[in-house]
């Protein structure tokens, strides 16, 4: 059990470090970030939910230290929405099963991953823009003002969706490949010869 806990802490540190680095690297592309994908993968990978939630929150906190903060209410809302994909862990664990070093069903795994990625992107888009509409006076606080906020934010949604799907695909396919290679390189039991 100690080995598993140590491995989880190493994976957590690697995910946070790569997430912060990638968020800083792509900061000029609006909303193209690995955070929601990291939350999806963390929810799938970590046994303890709190460790999974810690990954996107640490990535955001550390990278925002360098990038800069923003309105506290909107910041809390965005952090919560970027940690929310951890809740998809049950779905991902059902469809992204490794059996004998291979995915149980590649079609189900891809469909589940795409559905979770698109769902995370869409929820982030809806809630973060509703928060922007609520906390700032850029748009009228009416239904038409909210719709206008969503309409103008559509150009950023494509970056959110592209980032979430790109990084989720990289994380999950990299994990499947590593698991598959690990299975192939395990020493197979030798057959017993009857003499």
What is the Cα gyration radius of the chain?
20
Q: How many helices (H) and strands (E) does the chain have?
A: 7, 2
**pLDDT > 70 in the chain, percent:** 89
What are the pLDDT digits (tens) for 73-132? 999 999 999 999 999 999 998 887 766 556 667 788 888 999 999 999 999 999 999 999
Tell me whether residue 54 is in a domain: yes
Q: Based on the structure, what is the number of domains in the chain?
A: 1
pTM: 0.88
Tell me whether residue 110 is in a domain: yes
Kindly report the average pLDDT of the chain as a whole number. 90
Give the pLDDT score at 186. 53
What is the end-to-end Cα distance of the chain in Å, rounded? 40
Q: Is 114 exposed, middle or buried (0-12, 13-18, 19+ CB in 10 A)?
A: middle
- Provide the residue range defining the domain that includes 170: 2-90+99-183
Tell me whether residue 119 is in a domain: yes
Average pLDDT of the segment spanning 44-49: 94
Give the pLDDT score at 88. 93
Cα(184)–Cα(58) distance, integer angstroms? 34
DSSP 69: -
Tell me whether residue 189 is in a domain: no
CATH number of residue 78's parent domain: 1.10.1760
Of the candidate ranges 56-70, 76-90, 105-119, 153-167, the one whose mean pLDDT is the lowest: 105-119
Is 30 or 187 the better-scoring residue by pLDDT? 30
Tell me whether residue 25 is in a domain: yes
């Amino acid at each position: 059990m100690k080995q598993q806990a140590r491995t989880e802490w190493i994976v957590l540190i690697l995910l946070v470090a790569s997430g912060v680095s990638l968020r800083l690297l792509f900061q000029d592309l609006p909303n193209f970030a690995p955070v929601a994908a990291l939350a999806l993968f963390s929810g799938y990978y970590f046994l303890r939910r709190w460790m999974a939630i810690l990954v996107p929150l640490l990535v955001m906190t550390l990278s925002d230290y360098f990038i800069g903060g923003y309105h506290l209410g909107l910041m809390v809302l965005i952090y919560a929405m970027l940690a929310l994909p951890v809740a998809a862990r049950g779905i991902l664990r059902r469809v992204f099963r490794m059996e004998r070093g291979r995915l149980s069903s590649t079609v189900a795994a891809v469909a589940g991953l795409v559905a979770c990625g698109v769902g995370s992107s869409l929820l982030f888009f809806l809630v973060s823009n509703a928060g922007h509409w609520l906390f700032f006076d850029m748009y009228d606080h009416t239904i038409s003002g909210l719709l206008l906020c969503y309409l103008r934010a559509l150009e950023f949604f494509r970056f959110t969706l592209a980032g979430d799907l790109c990084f989720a695909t990289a994380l999950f396919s990299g994990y499947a490949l590593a698991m598959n290679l690990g299975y192939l390189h395990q020493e197979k039991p030798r057959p017993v010869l009857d003499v």
